[in-house]
Amino acid sequence: MLVDANELADKTTLGADLCIIGAGAAGVTLAHALRDTPLQIALFESGGIASDAPTQALYSGAYTGNLPGVDSSYLDHSRIRMYGGSTNLWGGYCRPLDPIDFEAREWVPDSGWPMSRKDLDPYYRAASDELGILPFDAPPPYLAGAEYPGHFLEGPLDERLYQLRYVNIGKKHLEAFKSSKKTKIHLHANAVDLRLNTAGTAIDDVRLATLSGKRATVRAKAYVLATGGIENARLLLASRGVHSKGVGNGNDLVGRYFMEHACVVTLGPMYAWKGVSLARYDVKVTDLDGGNYASPKRGTAMLVAPSEATIRTRQLLSATAQLTRVSDTGSDPKAIDESVMRACADIDGETARGGYAPPQKVALGFTSEQAPNRESRVKLGDAMDPLGLPQAVLDWRLGSQELDTLMALSEMIAAAAGSRRLGRVRLALGRDEILRAVGGGNHHMGTTRMSDDPKRGVVDSNCRVHGVDNLYVAGSSVFPTVGAANPTYTILALAFRLAEHLRGRLA
């Protein structure tokens, strides 16, 4: 059932077995996964079925980090406040985190999940079923063809397969929710206060507000906060009725360890000999069995990455590079650097004949994992939003490990291109210049990190807030480390895992 909170009686009280705050990838998946239980579920979403400017403006805040290319507009433009959340606009890139991403790596301070990749694999399979993609246990058959040679499968480099499957999670389940008698979706309903009991050990109720001025209260057996990596922390910090530092923040960890993927559109192009096949690295629209789909919303992409052995021996972070063919450069000598032109001509064997074969120009887009950083964080500012909540202040900070990793991967690709006679890479940015070029992937992670030790995390391995018996957090804010893979696939896996836990506890 769908309910517009603007049409509720003012100061009404709502009841449910489970209250889920946020109807994005995590919240919708969780509610859907519990559809066959007797639980009465109330799902609250700040926005409507369509986006609107006043609601989107509730994301406004300030930025105080160390990335020159980022400003306060990032807090608004990197997410969308409506039913379905950011699955209304995501790129559909799916891949599980690598096994090493779950490990406590000695060269990555504060790293390590309280579970292994194997522990999460059953829930990754559930996420694959939800999205309609294949499990990641084998490469797609088409890659075995001679026309798809792997140029970066030896030495320090490896490859990472992504499946592209754009699914609007909210839209997928909307009709089922509309007809459900057990699940109610309340639109335009903003959670503004998580109210603890006097002992501070459980949530008594959650206070809601609409932009039209309505107020409401929801009481449930359990509550799940699923509003994203910035908003989860913001609401916990702002709920100060019992604890002055906010809910779940006894160890001053809520909002800390904000992580994003450090992305650089290009550190410089690769010029590949015209005869080199790069088809393996193109985004391919496919059904993974060799056929083609009419829709470009489904496909695969192969990215280049440091091998696990390289990551360990060189103590790097996880990272990837995507190769995107831009065009042939043409035969005009002014089109590219003369030394690059000669190098590509040498590869083509044309130098002796005095000729020149124009190479393919390939853009290299790099993404690095961000190392956990306690000082990279979400805080509360002095400015208030129209609902009376303090606006978020994002102090997103990158360190040297991300820059070292990006530089190392670009140099490894450049060396491989030259030694394997594929072409030449012209690196346009040095290590010290990378920070100016870094942007984010619009992936907000880490601010309610997971650990079974309350001194190291906000939630335990079941995503329950330490010290608060009936409050859980869903989404990428619980990631202790983030790998290089886009987060939505892992968000879904964790939502299915949380659904299994709640099923056992509440049903």
* pLDDT at position 351: 41
Cα distances (Å, whole numbers) of residue 248 to 29, 231, 444, 482, 504:
24, 14, 19, 22, 23
> Residue 193: which residues within 8 A CB-CB, separation 6 or more?
206, 207, 238, 239, 241
Q: Are 241 and 195 in contact (CB under 8 A)?
A: yes
98 phi and psi angles, rounded to 5 deg: -80, 155
> Residue 416: which residues within 8 A CB-CB, separation 6 or more?
151, 152, 155, 157, 422
Burial of 338 (0-12, 13-18, 19+ CB in 10 A): exposed
Report the C-alpha gap between 435 and 438 in whole angstroms. 5
Examine the pLDDT at 348 and tell me if it is beyond 70: no
* pLDDT at position 285: 65
HEC states along 331-382?
Answer: CCHHHCCHHHHHHHHHHHCCHHHCCCCCCEEEEEEEEECCCCCCCCEEEEEE
Mean pLDDT over 365-393 rounds to 97
Please, what's the b/e burial string for 94-128 (b: 16 or more CB within 10 A of its CB; e: otherwise)?
A: bbbbbebbbbebeebebbbbbeebeebeebbbbbb
Amino acid at 493: A
Q: Which CATH number is associated with domain 1-54+82-132+167-258+443-507?
A: 3.50.50.60
Burial of 180 (0-12, 13-18, 19+ CB in 10 A): middle
Q: What does pTM read for this prediction?
A: 0.93
Strand partners for 3? 186
Report the C-alpha gap between 11 and 180 in whole angstroms. 25
Burial of 434 (0-12, 13-18, 19+ CB in 10 A): buried
Q: How many residues does the chain have?
A: 507
Q: What are 227-238's pLDDT values in tens digits?
A: 999 999 999 999
Examine the pLDDT at 420 and tell me if it is beyond 80: yes
Examine the pLDDT at 345 and tell me if it is beyond 50: no
* pLDDT at position 200: 96
Of 59-68, 420-429, 478-487, the least confident = 420-429
- Provide the percentage of residues in the chain whose pLDDT is more than 90: 76
Cα distances (Å, whole numbers) of residue 275 to 147, 347, 422, 476:
12, 10, 9, 42
* pLDDT at position 357: 58
Residue of 238 and 435 predicted with greater confidence: 238
* pLDDT at position 331: 45
Of 28-32, 307-311, 345-349, the least confident = 345-349
pLDDT band of residue 24 (cuts 50, 70, 90) is very high
Q: Could you give the residue range(s) of every CATH 3.50.50.60 domain in the chain?
A: 1-54+82-132+167-258+443-507
DSSP state letter for 155: T
Angle at 409 between CA 89 and CA 136, to 5 degrees: 55
Examine the pLDDT at 433 and tell me if it is beyond 70: yes
